[in-house]
Amino acid sequence: MKLNYFLLVAIIFNFSCTPRNLAYFSDLKQNTAYEEAILNDIDPKIQTYDLLSITVTSLNPEANALFNTGVAAQAKTITDFSLSRSNNSELAREGYLVDKTGSIDFPVLGKIKLVGLTKTQATEMLKNQLKLHLKDPIINVRFLNFKITVVGEVNRPATFSIPSERINILEALGMAGDMTAFGKRENVLIIREENGIRKMTRLNLNNKEILNSPYFYLQQNDVIYIEPDKMKQVQASTNTRTISIIASLTTLLIVVASRLL
């Protein structure tokens, strides 16, 4: 049993002597201006089971009412998305659900396939089809269920609704209260589903190159997982009594070592 305690003490000393890089973009030199074009800010594409708000405006009020039967009816307006967690700010609303075939059922037009299109592309498609029924229609397409989830070694893990429909990984971490000291900044896992395929990739937030990653800007339903480091795993697997004993042994070893020196 004592051997196990000394082994744990040795492990703790090993971890304590190993420096950890807790800084984001630590490879960016201090007092150095850094500038580059943003090439990875890509519009999110419509996916199956997305919920869309589609509003139609024209000079004909009666036609507007006909085409807006699926418009979202929001119970309240969210103005601060940093506080808009999906688990405590659900909105009473309706919308057009993209079914498993990638289509919505739109008034008069019937089934329209939107999966794989950006909002701009979907707007243009709807406008072209509605021109047969309306004069100079104005179409507005929005995501009603744009959300991301942050879990693991963060201070406030949760699922967050993003009304602006644009967020990067740093903003997501900020909404979750940032990583704890135990979070691996060099090994952040992003889980993303696109076109029926689940993709997973790891990002190194110590490296400024992640700014150019296609995963730096998040898409709807992305999941960010912050893995704990080995020290947290040791703490989790050690009960309170053992920690107390380890602390006492550590103090004793320090005292003995100082006298020997």
> What is the model's pLDDT at position 180?
94
**Residue length of the chain:** 261
Query: What is the Cα–Cα distance from 125 to 88, expressed in whole angstroms?
Result: 35
CA distances (Å), origin 218, targets 5, 44, 48: 44, 8, 17
> What is the model's pLDDT at position 83?
36
Q: Residue 149 above 70 pLDDT? A: yes
State the DSSP string of 211-235.
Answer: GGSTTTB--TT-EEEEEE-HHHHHH
Integer-rounded Cα Rg, in Å, for the chain is 26
The predicted model gives 156-164 an average pLDDT of 95
Q: Residue 90 above 60 pLDDT? A: no
Q: Residue 82 above 80 pLDDT? A: no
Q: Residue 91 above 50 pLDDT? A: no
Terminal C-alpha separation, the chain? 29
Chain mean position to CA 240: 34
* % of the chain beyond a pLDDT of 70: 68
pLDDT band at 233 (very low <50, low <70, confident <90, very high): low
Residue type, 137: P
Query: What is the Cα–Cα distance from 224 to 157, expressed in whole angstroms?
Result: 10
**pTM for the structure as a whole:** 0.70
> What is the model's pLDDT at position 215?
94
